[in-house]
Structure 1
Amino acid sequence: MDILTLVGLVAGILIVILAMLANASLLTFVNLPGLAIVIGGTFAVTLIKFRLPTVMSAFRLAFRAAFTDRVARPTELIREVGRLAHVVRKEGILGLESHQTRDEFLQKAINLCVDGHPPELVEEALAQETQQTMERYEVAERVFRGIGESAPALGMLGTLVGLVQMLNTLDDPSTIGPAMAVALLTTLYGAFIAQMVALPLADKLQLKAEDETRNQILITTSMRNIMRGENPRVMTELLSSFVTPEHRTGLAPEREA
């Protein structure tokens, strides 16, 4: 589980709530018509922009990507494919048949190699998988960036509705203050949804997409070198470019093997 995402979300919400409770009750910031305009309007605009299956898929992918830290570290993958390279040099490509891994993409690559497909077909299949993964993340990111753009706009629309209603009751000065507060609440709701939920999730999706794409390219490169019979030490040296310089020292045993 990606605990930092949960901590950041909870901490942000608590800070906003505590600020609300400083000089007023929480009910002061509750306005059901305003919530309906912002939440309902944002959802409606999102459905106009995207198909419903796309929106539902984006939500599933976003929460899975945000709250689970399932992307393997490059150093772990390099060590694992290094062991695979040693197995292939000793037993041939069929020596990988009994190897099981938690990484679905790596397992798919191993299965394609063991099935006896030519290297060109294996590389093409893995490249297509990487492309599809990138597109799924890109669409999900666009959905949440769209929500981040629509929510503040719908909040402003709700504010304008409230201001029109307030101007219609100017003959009673006592209603101006409360009416203005209600009008501004919709802007608050829109900004909260955009800045605390939608845009951070979009950024998290972009980050996870970059991490997963990097890992899949690493695996594709590794399997291509393994099928060519590349020396495991040389292969590890080539793959070290996928990790930061400070983490390359952890690959020293694999380079020496």
Structure 2
Amino acid sequence: MTHALQWLRSLVFVVQMYLAMAVLGIVFLPWALVSPRGARIACKTFCRWVRFTAAWMVGLRTEVRGTPPRGEVLIASKHQSFLDIILIFGSIPAGKFIMKRELMWAPVIGQYALRIGCVPVNRGKRSQAIGKMVEDVARGRQEPGQLIIYAQGTRVAPGVKKPYKIGAGVLYEELGQTCVPAATNVGVFWPRKGILRKPGLAVVEFLPEIAPGLPRGTFMRRLESEVEEASDKLMREAGFDTGER
């Protein structure tokens, strides 16, 4: 009975969340069309709304730990569900995601993503995608912001091991920017698929900066080690068995 009630509450939450996305997308559209700032404010308003409604509708509280970066940096994060997108973007001034090209055609999300400076890439052709990613990012550096890449290239469920893609290392090397790793446990409560949202405390944690200039291989090993270790710690804190003792 308790599980069924939580699922029903989750369904109501998910429905109202997407309705809110549509309403905000329409309301802010005139401003978003003439100014990226309008698009960013629309997206941040949506992030605040999701966090607020998640807390009282399904008992899912959220927290951002560490120091959210303010300058022009590369953020390389763990990705477990839509919620870590919301927490990261809502906590930084001008986030821009490396996103899969298919999302360009998603209603509301695609249009607003392009307006805030997100960089669509074709992941089907790896070498071409990386080159295009670097080129597009370099062209967009006139407008400062925090470039966010999901280092494993996709959502990864808690407890699943997946290698880190070279794209994060290429961007770190080519852009010459400081990298801020980010860990999370959001997938414990908000899975990558399905309706059920579990009560608890979902966390995104910004980790200590990695200064520019490291060899690509050294950077990738350090990034994976620090993000995975911190994410496992957050998941254990949330009651998830990571298999480590």
Structures share fold, TM-score greater than 0.5: no
TM-score under structure 1 length normalisation: 0.21
Structure of higher CA gyration radius: 1
TM-score under structure 2 length normalisation: 0.22
